[in-house]
Amino acid sequence: MTVPQDAAACVRQLREEIERHNYLYYVLDKPEIPDAEYDKLFRELERLEAGNPLLATPDSPTRRVGASPLAEFSQLTHRVPMLSLNNAFEEEEVAAFDRRVREGLGVEMVEYAVDPKFDGLAISLIYENGILVQGATRGDGYTGEDVTTNLRTIKAIPLRLHTANPPKLLEVRGEVLILKADFEKLNRQQREKGDKEFANPRNAAAGSLRQLDPRITATRPLTFFAYGLGSVDEVDLPRKLSAVMDYLESLRVPVCRERRVVQGVDGLLDYYRMIGARRDGLPYDIDGVVYKVNNLSWQEQLGFVSRAPRFAIAHKFPAQEAMTELLGIDVQVGRTGTLTPVARLKPVFVGGVTVTNATLHNQDEIDRKDVRIGDTVIVRRAGDVIPEVVRVLPERRQPGTQAYNLLEAVRHVCPVCGSHVIRLPDEVAARCSGGLFCPAQRKRSLLHFASRTAMDIEGLGDKLMEQLVDRDLVSTPADLYTLGLKDLDSLDRMTPADLYELGMNTLASLDRMAEKSAANVLDAIKASKKTTLARFIYALGIRNVGEATAKDLARHFGGLDVLMAADEEELQQVPDVGPVVAQSIVQFFAEPHNRGVIERLRAVGVHWVEGERAPRPMASAISGKTFVLTGTLPSLTRDEAKEKIEALGGKVSGSVSKKTDYVVAGVEAGSKLAKAQELGVVVLDENNLIELLGK
């Protein structure tokens, strides 16, 4: 069989084009073309390959997902062992490391290549003549598992190195991980599907890489960052690690943007502090930083001691996990009635604070981890997330402990209000059926209503709400605006001054409430009456409606009455609203009690500006894309352009950021255009825009 010359050339060109767009999208996070355009290229390549099977080589971007599941992974031996790093926790240990390095080399000052220490899974990628032929887990450092078919599905990993002159052999080493934002999204999807959520990005990445069916791995948002090399053959490598990393970057192997070159121990510690300060804002989880002697000849000279390099060290952030004892299990009731088992712990210092409570999530998690009262447990506290019990140390379990059952522990009734507890067959959570009759649910819904991103009532915190609810002063959010008023019918006869005085007297009767703070709270409540539709929707506390969904709903419907009248089908026209969310919304507004509270909130003066109902966006090439308009367009006004973009499901934003997909620039476009160019955002003129909208 022969292949037409022009088909071969077309295939080559298409692959290069697709690989470049993969790199722009998955590695640089700067796509140049809309998804629809990318899909077109991809389909064209598939069509050509189907017509010319000889051209369908394994390195083609169309061949990332293998056909069938494996029975098991095979073991393989690493050509160069993948050894682990020694750890340092204190600055003195870092100084000692630098001293040993300097003394070992007989030099005054050492240059280091430094990077964040990813909390993912170490893997090795073997490229022969530029083609990815094998990928393996680290395993015990000497033998690992062959996970080639899974690694091939990770779009950030090139199937072919971007060079005309590939080395005979190049082994790239790095970490597979899931970015924090992708992890949140993955768990949201798991929740929507009723599947189990993952505990953290690292577990999710590990579980995804260990799938025997690569089609499952392909659906997981795995990514990759290289941090070094293993075995190499027939390649003239630079003599510095930092330059090797630049070389990998030129081959379009993902390398981390936060890598630096620093001098001496001061440089190391400055880097540690800089990354530590930025840790929570980084897109991925890290557990420290890694220091490596930059000069590769010096690395060889220093060599290894007992399975770890002498030329490198990991400087870890304070432990986020600690061991302690589980003294008991309390049950807390959340805003929507969810019963959450909470571990009462022997106080332990972890992640920089003393922890006495940690969440156990739900019964399924307790069963999975087999957590029992009296156990020795590992507690984890990362960033500002709620501490959790990660696992039990079974070898330390005392005889006579019993499996914990939440429903039995509470005798099937809510520990706060005594209502029945139900566990629906398709839900992991047990729930108090008391609704807003339950003071715990009432307190939490009210706190949610008042929270910063909802109605933003400053000063209305835990302690105050506790008293207001326990003394029956407040039972619905509307009561906050008429504090102290017993008889609602008398509202019409009250002046604002009367209401204020009543509010002051009510607050003054509470514990620890000075006049000044009472006045502040009342002012904050009053100020919150002027709000936005999105905040108001979010504040209502509808199940499954978070801040982003509330904004989408407000934008789509424009007004509360239209939203309240919408059926499930109409609701699902809103981006990201699926059947589960739509059902929650319909159920919420069908409840007479909820309608009554909304009516009263409006009656006491809570208001917002209602917008036009946005026309239902059509699925299009620009659905979900963000545009920024700048300068004067030749024929369309700003508003007309905005209307057209939004009608097709695009969004128009006021400022240019990494998230911007397109900047539409007219005459006298200024700083926004410059910013777009700086960030590599695609810039369109009016004709390009009209063309794109026409698609």
Count of C-beta atoms within a 10 Å radius of residue 395: 6
Tokens of 586: 């319909």
Q: Of these, 23, 227, 449, 588, which contacts ligand 9MJ (CB under 6 A)?
A: 227
**Which are the contacts of 2, defined by CB distance < 8 A and separation ≥ 6?**
none
175 is an interface residue for ligand 9MJ by CB under 6 A: yes
Q: What is the rounded distance in angstroms from the CA atom of residue 137 to the CA atom of residue 122?
A: 6
H-state helical runs in 227-327? 241-250, 264-278, 296-302
Number of residues lying near ligand 9MJ (CB under 6 A): 9
> Judged by CB, which is closer to ligand 9MJ: 19, or 115?
115
Q: What is the rounded distance in angstroms from the CA atom of residue 230 to the CA atom of residue 241?
A: 12
317 is an interface residue for ligand 9MJ by CB under 6 A: no
Tokens of 671: 């700083």
> Judged by CB, which is closer to ligand 9MJ: 155, or 315?
315
Site string for ligand 9MJ, 324-363 (x = CB under 6 A): ----------------------------------------
Min CB(144)–ligand 9MJ separation in Å: 14
Q: What is the rounded distance in angstroms from the CA atom of residue 536 to the CA atom of residue 558?
A: 12
- Of 616, 691, 687, 681, the C-alpha closest to 649 is 616
User: Which range binds ligand 9MJ by CB under 6 A, 110-118, 562-570, 576-584, 671-679?
Assistant: 110-118
Site string for ligand 9MJ, 284-303 (x = CB under 6 A): ------x-------------
Min CB(122)–ligand 9MJ separation in Å: 6
Min CB(318)–ligand 9MJ separation in Å: 17
User: Which range binds ligand 9MJ by CB under 6 A, 112-120, 181-189, 360-368, 388-396?
Assistant: 112-120
> Judged by CB, which is closer to ligand 9MJ: 290, or 440?
290
Q: What is the rounded distance in angstroms from the CA atom of residue 339 to the CA atom of residue 329?
A: 12
Number of residues that this document lists for the chain: 695
SS3 (DSSP) at 407: helix
Q: Could you give the residue numbers annotated as active site?
A: 117
556 is an interface residue for ligand 9MJ by CB under 6 A: no
> Judged by CB, which is closer to ligand 9MJ: 313, or 669?
313
Q: What is the rounded distance in angstroms from the CA atom of residue 391 to the CA atom of residue 389?
A: 6
Order of strands across the sheet with 626-630? 651-653, 626-630, 662-665, 682-684
User: Which range binds ligand 9MJ by CB under 6 A, 23-31, 115-123, 244-252, 407-415?
Assistant: 115-123
545 is an interface residue for ligand 9MJ by CB under 6 A: no
Tokens of 445: 């819904």
Tokens of 23: 């790199």
Q: What is the rounded distance in angstroms from the CA atom of residue 507 to the CA atom of residue 470?
A: 13
97 is an interface residue for ligand 9MJ by CB under 6 A: no
Q: Of these, 15, 21, 64, 117, which contacts ligand 9MJ (CB under 6 A)?
A: 117
> Judged by CB, which is closer to ligand 9MJ: 117, or 240?
117
Min CB(114)–ligand 9MJ separation in Å: 9
Q: Of these, 113, 125, 186, 312, which contacts ligand 9MJ (CB under 6 A)?
A: 312
Site string for ligand 9MJ, 33-72 (x = CB under 6 A): ----------------------------------------
What single-letter DSSP state applies at residue 129?
Answer: T
Tokens of 393: 């140390």
Report the chain's C-alpha Rg in angstroms.
Answer: 30
172 is an interface residue for ligand 9MJ by CB under 6 A: no
SS3 (DSSP) at 645: helix
**Which are the contacts of 568, defined by CB distance < 8 A and separation ≥ 6?**
579, 582, 583, 586
Min CB(255)–ligand 9MJ separation in Å: 10
> Judged by CB, which is closer to ligand 9MJ: 290, or 410?
290
- CA-to-CA dists, residue 112 to 97, 122, 237, angstroms: 12, 21, 18
282 is an interface residue for ligand 9MJ by CB under 6 A: no
244 is an interface residue for ligand 9MJ by CB under 6 A: no
**Burial (CB count within 10 angstroms: exposed 0-12, middle 13-18, buried 19+), residue 437:** middle
User: Which range binds ligand 9MJ by CB under 6 A, 113-121, 271-279, 317-325, 573-581?
Assistant: 113-121
Q: What is the rounded distance in angstroms from the CA atom of residue 669 to the CA atom of residue 684?
A: 12
> Judged by CB, which is closer to ligand 9MJ: 85, or 580?
85
73-92 residues in contact with ligand 9MJ (CB under 6 A) are 85
Q: What is the rounded distance in angstroms from the CA atom of residue 9 to the CA atom of residue 3?
A: 10
Q: Of these, 135, 167, 228, 337, which contacts ligand 9MJ (CB under 6 A)?
A: 228
Min CB(228)–ligand 9MJ separation in Å: 5
Q: What is the rounded distance in angstroms from the CA atom of residue 204 to the CA atom of residue 290?
A: 23
Count of C-beta atoms within a 10 Å radius of residue 394: 10
118 is an interface residue for ligand 9MJ by CB under 6 A: yes
Q: Crossing angle for the helix pair 515-527 and 496-508, nearest 10 degrees?
A: 130
**Do residues 348 and 122 lie in contact, with contact meaning Cβ atoms separated by under 8 Å?**
no
262 is an interface residue for ligand 9MJ by CB under 6 A: no
> Judged by CB, which is closer to ligand 9MJ: 290, or 550?
290
Min CB(16)–ligand 9MJ separation in Å: 30
> Judged by CB, which is closer to ligand 9MJ: 252, or 316?
316
Q: What is the rounded distance in angstroms from the CA atom of residue 458 to the CA atom of residue 57?
A: 62
316 is an interface residue for ligand 9MJ by CB under 6 A: no
Using CB under 6 A, list all residues that contact ligand 9MJ: 85, 115, 117-118, 175, 227-228, 290, 312
